[in-house]
Each structure stands twice: as C-alpha cells, then as structure tokens.
Structure 1
C-alpha cells in the first residue's frame, strides 16, 4: 500500500475526532473552500512542509491514511502542466481512514 499523508495541526485533528471527519484542505483553507483535501506521498512531505510553514516553529502531525478506507475519490493532479502530481481527496477524510498519527519533527522527518 502506498501511504497517503496529510500534514496538519493537532487541534484540527482533535476537532475531526470529535466530528467524525476531517474537513481541512490545507493550512487555513477548508475542504469546502478548496474543493478537495491536499494529500502527499512520503517523498513529497518535506517540500509541502517548507511551502506551507517555512521555518515557522509550530507543532505539526502527519495523518497516515489507508486509501482502502476512503469514501471519496483520490485523484493525482499536478499544480502546473507537466509538474509533479499530488494526491487530492475529493471529499471529507473519515477519521477511521487514518491508521496512524505521527509527530512531524522540525528537521523534516516524521518520527515513527
């Protein structure tokens, strides 16, 4: 299984656990605003972190998602023509599709 990942803040994940689904697309934008939830493959996560958070010191977690548990489609799409494709989830992320939550270390590696 290829891991699908989503980088987020602990408080947003805690709210999702209460609500039963995660509905944040990316930093500061909801699924409703964006139309999909931004996901990553493991090799893409360091660049995504730099792009969204820069050198900002903030606690982050990585949601590890089992694609077989998703109820909405995932499409791989490039931000620019011919660019690298990223996975996008076109619907809410059910909390039971998250099989692991990892701390994201500032040095750019998820801890196990």
Structure 2
C-alpha cells in the first residue's frame, strides 16, 4: 500500500542519512501520513502559508517501522508511522507548489 508524508523543502534537504526522522516523531511519537485522497485537504489545512511542499510516497510493505491507521481529531482515519522512515521505503519524491 502507498501512503504519503508531507515535509517542508528545507527539512527534506537536511535529510542525508538512511533514516528520516520527522519532528512529530519526537514530539508526538509518530510521523503523520496521509492516503492519496487526503493530500489536498492536508496541504490546504496545514501548509497553505507555504510556497512549496515535498510529498514523499511511501511503500508500507518496505517500511521498517509499523504503520497504524488511526482516527484524527476530525474522526478521519490517517496512517501514522511509529518510527523513522527508511530511505528504501520512499518510492518517489515530488515537489508541489501550494496554491
């Protein structure tokens, strides 16, 4: 299954190891991800003030960390990654302009 993680360009540029640690992993214990149909909503809700974001497409079968689908505060189900993202689980990296 494919899931998606949104990251700011500067944070992505700093990634130079085999494991990616999002800030939320330390502060909340997991990395926020989305299903493809949720991407536009998440970008609009949390990144509307940013000129650009980077979207990581992740293969859940290749992730070393476990993925749990959990309800958000709006009672929507989102995938959460409980650990770092290993580089070889990243299928694609796309830069998107935020409208």
Give your verdict on TM over 0.5.
Answer: yes
The alpha-carbon distance between structure 1 residues 94 and 100, as it changes in their structure 2 partners (threshold 3 A), is same
The root-mean-square deviation of aligned C-alpha atoms, in Å, is 1.6
CA–CA separation in structure 2 for the residues paired with 1:96 and 1:8: 17
1:66 maps to 2:59: yes
Q: Give the aligned partner of residue 10 of structure 2.
A: 11
- Higher relative CO (Cα under 8 Å, sequence separation at least 6) belongs to 2
Where do 4+ consecutive residues of structure 1 move more than 6 Å?
Answer: none
Q: Are the counterparts in 1 of residues 3 and 35 from structure 2 also a CA contact under 8 Å?
A: yes
Q: How far did 1:74 drift?
A: 0.3
Q: How far did 1:61 drift?
A: 1.1
Q: As a proportion of its length, which structure holds more strand?
A: 2
**TM-score calculated relative to the size of structure 2:** 0.88
Alignment coverage as a number of residue pairs: 99
Q: How far did 1:3 drift?
A: 1.9
**TM-score calculated relative to the size of structure 1:** 0.79
